[in-house]
Amino acid sequence: MPPRTNLPAKLERARRRLWQDAGDLRLDTSPAAEGGCGVVGLACDVPVAGRHLMHALAQMRNRGNGKGGGVAMVGLDAAQLGTTPRVLREDYLLGIAYLDAGVRAEVERRFLEPVFEIDDARELAPAVSGHAALGLEVRPPDVVLYWARPRAAAIERFLAGGDLAEGDFPDRRALEDELVYQSSFRLNRELYAGERGNLAYVQCHAKDLLVLKMVGYAEDVVRFYGLEDMTAHVWIGHHRYPTKGKVWHPGGAHPFVGLNEALVHNGDFANYQSICDYLAQRQIRPLFMTDTEVAALVFDLHRRTYGYPLEYVIESLAPTTERDFAVLPAAKQEVYRALQTTHIHGSPDGPWFFIIAESGRDAWRLIGVTDTSMLRPQVFAVQRGAANIAFCASEKQVIDAVLESLAAADPRFWGRPDRYWVARGGSHTDGGAFVFTLRQRPEGGRELVVTDKFGAAVASPTGGDTATLAFPNGGSGFAWRSGGRRSRDCRHSPQVANGSGSKKPAAAGLPKSMARRSATPEAYDRSTLRASDRSDAPGPFPARSATQETGPFPPLTQVLAALRRWSWQQASSFLDELALEARVPGREVAVLELLTLLLDRRYDPGRLRRSRWLSRLDACLAGVLADLERRPTPAFQVHAGPAGGAAGQPRPDAADQTIVLDARRYAIEGEGSAANELVALYRHGWRRFLVANTRGHRFLGCGFGPATEGVRIDVYGSFGDYLASGGDGIELHAHGDAQDQVAQIWKSGLLVVHGDVGQAFGYGAKGGEAYVLGSAAGRPMINAVGSPRVVINGTCLDYLAESFMAGDPLKGGGFVILNGVGFDSRGRLRELDNPYPGSNLFSLASGGALYIRDPFGRLEASQLNGGEFAELGKADWDLIRPYLEKNEAWFGIPVSALLAVDGVECRPAEVYRKVRPVKLRALQAEEAWVGHRG
Amino acid sequence: MTDPTARGASPELIGKVTHYLHQGFSALAHGRRELPPALGDARWTPELILATWYMAETGQVPTGGLEYRVGRSGGGFDRLDFELLPEPAANTSAMAAEDTSIALNRRGSGAEITIPVPFYGGGMSYGSVSEQVMLARAIAAARWSTYMCTGEGGYPEALVPYKDNIITQVATGLFGVEERTIQYAPIVEFKYAQGAKPGLGGHLLGDKSTTAVAKMRGSVPWVSLFSPFPFHSVYSVEDHKKHVDWIKTINPRALISVKVSTPADVDMVAVGSYYAGAHILHLDGAYGGTGAAPEIAKKNIAMPIELAVPKVHKHLVKEGIRDRVTLMASGGIRTAWDIAKIIALGADGAVLATTELVALGCTRCSNCERGRGCTFGLTTTDPELKEWLQPEWGAARLDNLFRAIQGELRAILRRLGLRSVRDLRGRTDLLRYRPAETGEVA
């Protein structure tokens, strides 16, 4: 691209005319207040139909209020839209929303025909009869799509003003882009923001980019315009939650467009006015009066007018600060400093998360950017196989819902992504922004490339077969008994059923050495497997009654050893056999224990893709639980659901019987929610709960009240926010990744999370024990007091244990152990690059301690603000070792492996560092007085 | 130090000190001509303080000429007055007493709660005040079937017998917030900000974080405790709704009150809170707070409550939701007249805290942040000083104060020709400006 140093200045001058010629505007100068929002975006190398977003969006209604919903689509299908591929590719798609159908002729006569050659047009007729049928308060706009090319004469007129010449633009397309931008601006100014009132506006005006929005929820948009079967490669769905103004307007809904991009937003800016001023200095004015609009305008300014690469645009939006800036290379610092100096007033300040769909010349993109403080929830995910798809969304459960829908319709997808992750804006590691690029392959089709802000590829586990086909059941070949493979007949024989009650399953014949023999040489791996085999390790799901066998069946080690060799056909057959095994009376607990361990643990999936294997396990678990509903056992009762009514509330046959709740029968929150049902069942005498099939269900484990020791809850699926927030005695096992606000005000009891936890984990906790297999997002254990004792095996994004006040850990106070380890795709423990990459650690803490595994001394004093490093003493090690041992029992992460560095066992003090509060305070007058008196 | 009370004052000393304190309050309240030279300030004038003491003793407003209606700040409540009917026309002694009750739940579902007086006690934490003060407030609230609020500092066991009249607070530090305490509460108050120091969080300086306070909060003794200025889990209205839904899961019966300060966009905050499920919107203006709130913040950040209430009231009316939500106001409401005025400006009722402290003997000396700064034993948890206030004595004072306020409110309603305090809401037409008096702060 040739240099165009004078173009921005010239464009500014030209755009000034847009205002000078304008009549009075009838703008409400106070911007609409945005609250939170719910967003989901995806980019996929194969077309995705709108129907797959429906469930996800419906599930996320609690993040909107029905006052604004919208979708953006890039990579459309010409035939579905009734045009030709060439027109779709080469023409600008002008989506014009008519709030007053009467102005259509005028729009076409005055704004379209003089400027554009219209190659195609289509009215987007409502798919439902009348908006009231969908419960919509406000009639959605009539949308007409025009495929248009700027007329040569119009371009001539455009350049005739003298401000701009064709040579100022890098190419003809850039010139045409600006013409389209100015043309739409004129239309919006006169027919939306002008004295005549809200009559019509341009919803989108790029090539192959469609935006539709209304007053309602995003899935209403899909339904109303009949997008269920319409496909795109990039989708964004957005629920809005505006809080001001009685009359909401489609024009205020997201997405907003700059030119080649559509932007949605969750959060709000404290500096809306500053950004408006910044834009005004560059001759750009908002017309729709929401902070989201100005964000879209800033993005377009940087991207199109200034021609910045994405990295710089992102830096300008979410500047790198503090320690993150300090550790950047000098050359990058120089550029970033210049960007910040120039554009800080256009940088949104406050909690926000943007998802941007871009129909670029070179590629289609989906971009997710988080604010520097990471104050809005966001989750990214990717799944790669015969089709490749990447997501960013407000909540993990939304991603899961889209994948579930896709998997049900298309064998190229399955229910779990290969990887989920969260990010912190402005971080030096990844920038907190991710770009999903769909590049044109030379041989046709699209390639999905996932990169971070710096352009570095984001890895996800891609090994292993993803098995897109169904298999004939040829048997797994698994040695169900030490004597060899059992026939089906044998499995159902009475002897087996009788024998199962008294005999420990196959343990005697289990080749314990198998694990070691077949293990890879890595010390971690070997000991991980050994840990799973510990006879004193608690079962993952000790819901068994006296008549039940103990321990998972078949033993985990045996299954893992076999799994390494299995083909999909064998693995799939094994699960079928396992489901049958669960029907053997008394065997179901052991089978569920095995399934749970297979879901929870990290191990080598052999020839299989882990995520796909987990999806199969999900299905197997669902099948076993469905079987249990048909055949209740002494150990389990499956609850019929709310249909049973209060009178039909079951009671336990025995104190340790587990009640199984299918979360899909319950609301996500509020009345009729699974969370409330758990409490009601508790009051009916139940103490053991298995909650399956969650899909964003919130507040699970909340409301049980004090003195609830003896209550155990196991949660499976895609559970939502505020899990176990308020526990005072309960034991909760979360079999998967937990979301935001887990274990707030946690007071006592046990929480085990077999995955990551989200924002504000343990905020205001008072006590209790918590174990997290993975990492925590921002602000874990903030403002915690008393005696919480927490093990986090991964890392945290930032602000770990800020304002921690948990006494003296050596005298009963609280602490957090941070291990800084993760797993590779073969289930082997790996050191993370840095146990804690954030800038703020133990800030303003006055009590408690952190024990951080940092064998390479990567933590710096500059990360502390109110804490100091201290040697790990014997008393410290004696204190934390029991917790690490329990951590080993829950997750199979051996203490010995944690103490090993590069395969060499070290002393605890060589591996763990203690962080304690700085003794800054002077003796308080009051304390002195009391001390004196005492 | 194991048991802080063990080394408190002896019964003899307590008896002696309280005897003289009580005598002093009484003597001063009845001695119009001998205003103490260093008492009070322009908002809380010496007369207002002494009048409050008088009411706390007698259950009536002063009759001897002590100014009990307005202060001398030169603005706000002190420049507002009512267009009253002439005395004789208002003589309706044969009629039933004017109704001073208000409903706290107007959403049409959930617990119907009506309080007989249009006010309840605001949040003051254990740590900011003593357990004795909390207990006195709780006993009085129970007698009047109204409420007091724990603030953010835990829920002392001694309060549990009065739990049906105690609002518990969920504030940004989450100090003392437990499922148990949430389940006790008929009303849960989310404190987003305090009008005296919006955006600054909460402060309990090290001096006051005694062993007993630290034990209650689970913190380290003698270390300053700060509540963050935001909720770390709430950065948007959708987060707030989730936050409310969480508390409703823990206690589905509780009414939800949302206490916010008065920023410029307080009207938007109010509407957002309503849609997120609030029964009570509690606006806290700039003039509240004890002496522990930073001087620089008080009166300099938040909007005065007299401006915020009509702004929000009008906006709620415009949105068509005014009758679905109860609007409570606090932050510098001192007297029955202030209560009547804020209701006329658009609130349903008022939240009192400083007034209650004054009734208990506070002189507004503004030394509240010190552990041993309160010689009257109110804003302290010092093992000795806290004994200066006996809960029953305090409850009796508050009982009297409430009676005096209710009586005066009825008198105001009578002279406005209104039968119910509910009819006064939003009646700005009944207000007029008072001329400034000489010597007032302009």
Kindly tell me if the per-residue pLDDT of A208 is higher than 70.
yes
Residue B20 forms contact with A (CB below 8 Å) = no
Residue A933, chain B, CB below 8 Å: the answer is yes
Interface check for B349 against chain A (CB to CB < 8 A): the answer is no
Portion 221-280 of A in contact with B at CB < 8 A: 241, 243-244, 246, 266-268
Q: Is residue A478 left, alpha or beta, with left meaning phi > 0 and alpha meaning psi from -120 to 50?
A: beta
Does A760 contact chain B (CB < 8 Å)?
yes
Note whether B228 contacts A764, CB cutoff 8 Å.
no
Residue partners of A677: CB distance under 8 A and separation at least 6? A639, A642, A661, A666
C-beta separation of A212 from A227 below 8 A = yes
Q: Both tokens of residue A421?
A: 């992750």
Residue type for B120, please? Y
Burial of A185 (0-12, 13-18, 19+ CB in 10 A): buried
Give the Cα separation of A174 and A165 in Å (integer).
Answer: 12
Indicate the residue of B237, B238, B371 with minimum beta-carbon distance to A926: B371
What are the backbone dihedrals phi and psi of residue B390, each rounded to the nearest 5 degrees, phi first? -95, 130
pLDDT digits (tens, 9 = 90+) for B330-346: 999 999 999 999 999 99
pLDDT digits (tens, 9 = 90+) for A830-842: 999 999 999 999 9
- Find which of A930, A932, A933 to mutate to test the B interface (most B CBs within 10 Å of its CB): A930
> H-helix or E-strand containing B280?
strand B280-284
The identity of residue A262, as a single letter, is A
Range 345-404 of A in CB contact (< 8 A) with B? 351, 375-376
Structure tokens at A797: 């994004």
The pLDDT, as a whole number, for residue A485 is 36
Give the whole-angstrom CA distance, residue A223 versus residue A233. 19
* B275 contacts in chain A (CB < 8 Å): 65, 243
Tell me whether B372 touches chain A (CB under 8 Å): yes
Q: Which of A392, A400, A360, A358 is nearest to A376 (CA)?
A: A392
Residue with tokens 């962080």: A915
pLDDT tops 70 at residue A920: no
Chain A residue numbers with beta carbons less than 8 Å from the beta carbon of B267 are 244
Q: What angle do CA A64, A66, A70 make, to 5 degrees?
A: 80
The mean pLDDT of A489-518, rounded to a whole number, is 29
Residue B215 contacts A, CB cutoff 8 Å: no
B390 touches B135 (CB < 8 A): no
**List of residues 6+ apart from B136 with CB closer than 8 A:** B360, B389, B391, B392, B393, B394, B395, B397, B398
State which of A229-233, A916-920, B433-437 shows the largest mean pLDDT. Answer: A229-233
A28 touches chain B (CB under 8 A): no
pLDDT tens profile A433-443: 999 999 999 99
Q: B225: helix, coil or strand?
A: strand
Could you tell me what percent of chain A has a pLDDT over 90?
Answer: 71
Strand order in the sheet with A712-718: A636-638, A658-662, A688-695, A712-718, A728-735, A748-753, A769-772, A789-792, A815-818, A849-853, A912-917, A867-870
DSSP-derived pairing of the beta strands A363-370 and A433-440 = antiparallel
Cα gap A591→A552, rounded to integer Å: 6
Give how far A632 is from chain B: nearest CA, Å. Answer: 29
Q: What is A758-772 written as a DSSP string? A: -TTTTTT--S-EEEE
* C-alpha to C-alpha distance for A596 and A613, rounded to whole angstroms: 13
Centre a 10 Å sphere on the Cβ of residue A477 and count the other Cβ atoms it contains. 15
Residue A519 in this model has a pLDDT that exceeds 50: no
Predicted local confidence at residue A129, as pLDDT: 81
DSSP A583-606: TSTT-HHHHHHHHHHHHHS----T
Strand partners, A870: A914
| pLDDT band, very low/low/confident/very high, at A226 (cuts 50, 70, 90) | very high
User: Cβ(B302)–Cβ(B262) under 8 Å?
Assistant: yes
Per-residue model confidence (pLDDT) at position A518: 28
Contacts with B279 (C-beta within 8 Å, 6 or more apart), sequence order:
B104, B105, B106, B107, B110, B187, B255, B256, B257, B325, B326
Confidence of residue A647 (pLDDT cuts 50, 70, 90): low
- Check if B319 contacts A (Cβ < 8 Å): yes
Is the pLDDT assigned to residue A211 strictly greater than 50? yes
Alpha carbons A845 and A867: distance in angstroms, whole number:
7
A98 vs A921, more confident? A98
Give the N- to C-terminal CA distance of chain A in Å, as an integer.
Answer: 80
> What SS3 class is residue A626?
helix
Mutate to test the interface with A, among B219, B243, B374 (most CBs of A within 10 A): B219
B268: chain A residues, CB-CB within 8 Å = 33, 243-244
CA distance A892 to chain B (A): 31
Q: Closest Cα of chain B to A65: distance in Å?
A: 9
Residues of chain A neighbouring B232 (CB-CB closer than 8 A): 759-760, 763, 779, 782-783
Residue A329 in tokens? 């290379």
Kindly tell me if the per-residue pLDDT of B367 is higher than 60: yes
CA–CA separation, B313 vs A91, rounded Å?
52
How does A107-141 read in b/e, with b if 16+ C-beta sit within 10 Å?
bbeebbeebbebbbbeebebeeeebeebebebebb
CB atoms within 10 A of CB B387: 21
| Interchain contact B149–A (C-beta under 8 A) | no
pLDDT at A4 over 60: no
Q: Kindly determine whether residue B251 and residue A703, on different chains, have CB atoms separated by under 8 Å.
A: yes
Confidence class for position A469, pLDDT limits 50, 70, 90: low
Q: What pLDDT is attached to residue A464?
A: 87
Q: Rounded to an integer, what distance in angstroms lies between the CA atom of residue A369 and that of residue A356?
A: 8
**What's the confidence (pLDDT) of residue A162?**
82
Neighbour-count burial of A153, counting CB atoms closer than 10 A to its CB (0-12 exposed, 13-18 middle, 19+ buried) = exposed
pLDDT score for B338: 98
Provide the pLDDT confidence category of residue B92 given band limits of 50, 70 and 90: low
Q: How confident is the model at residue A23 (pLDDT cuts 50, 70, 90)?
A: low
Interface test with A, best of B175, B249, B324, B367 (most A CBs within 10 A): B249
The interface residues of chain B toward chain A in range 239-258, judged by CB-CB distance below 8 A, are 239, 241-242, 245-246, 248-252
Q: Residue A394: name the closest of A44, A740, A667 by CA.
A: A740
Sign of CA dihedral B409, B412, B418, B423: negative
Binding-face residues of A in 441-480 toward B, CB within 8 A: none
CB–CB contact A33 B228 (8 Å): no
Structure tokens at B296: 């620089």
Residue of A460, A462, A463, A410 whose CA lies nearest to A436: A460
Cα–Cα–Cα angle for A888, A894, A897, rounded to 5 degrees: 150
Tell me what the pLDDT averaged over chain B comes to.
Answer: 91
Confidence category of residue B347, pLDDT binned at 50, 70, 90 = very high
Distance (Å, rounded) from C-alpha A907 to C-alpha B40? 64
CB contact under 8 A, A698 and B265: no
Answer whether B222 sits within 8 Å of A924, measured CB to CB: yes
Q: Is the pLDDT of residue A323 over 60?
A: yes
Q: How far is CA B142 from CA A861, B146, B159, B160, B426, in A?
A: 53, 6, 11, 12, 29
Read out DSSP for B305-340? HHHHHHHHHHHHHHHT-GGGSEEEEESS--SHHHHH
pLDDT digits (tens, 9 = 90+) for B192-217: 988 888 878 888 888 888 889 999 99
pLDDT of residue A541: 52
Q: Is the pLDDT of residue A532 over 50?
A: no
**Class of residue B309 by CB neighbours under 10 A (exposed 0-12, middle 13-18, buried 19+):** buried
Give the residue ranges of DSSP H helices in A643-734: 674-683
A66 touches chain B (CB under 8 A): no
Distance CA A676, CA A145 (A): 47
Residue B377 pLDDT level (bands cut at 50, 70, 90): very high
In Å, what is the CA distance from B159 to each residue of A504, B137, B154, B350? 54, 10, 10, 23
Please tell me the total number of residues recorded for chain B in this structure: 442
Indicate the average pLDDT of chain A. Answer: 87
**pLDDT given at position A672:** 93
Measure CB to CB from residue A763 to each of B210, B233, B251 and give the nearest one: B233
**A-chain residue closest to B249, CA distance:** A703
Question: 3-state DSSP call for residue A612?
Answer: helix
pLDDT of residue A521 exceeding 60, the answer is no
pLDDT above 90 (res A605): yes
Distance CA A56, CA A40 (A): 8
Q: What is the pLDDT of residue A498?
A: 28
Q: What is the pLDDT of residue B196?
A: 82
CA distance A300 to A894: 52
Task: Write down the residue that tokens 């409110």 correspond to.
Answer: B409
| Predicted complex: ipTM over 0.90 | yes
> For residue B280, which of B347, B341, B215, B355 has the smallest C-alpha distance?
B347
pLDDT beyond 60 at A547: no
> Which amino acid type is present at position B225?
L
Looking at per-residue pLDDT, the higher value among B179 and A543 belongs to B179
Residue range A379-436, pLDDT digits in tens: 999 999 999 999 999 989 999 999 999 999 999 999 999 999 998 888 999 999 999 9
Q: pLDDT value at position B174?
A: 94
Query: In the structure encoding, which two tokens stand for residue A591, read together?
Result: 């089978």
For A61-87, b where at least 16 C-beta lie within 10 A, e where not — what string?
bbbbbbbbbbbbbbbbbbeebebeeeb
In sequence order, what are the beta bridge partners of B39?
none
Cβ neighbours of residue A865 closer than 8 Å, sequence gap 6 or more = A840, A841, A842, A843, A844
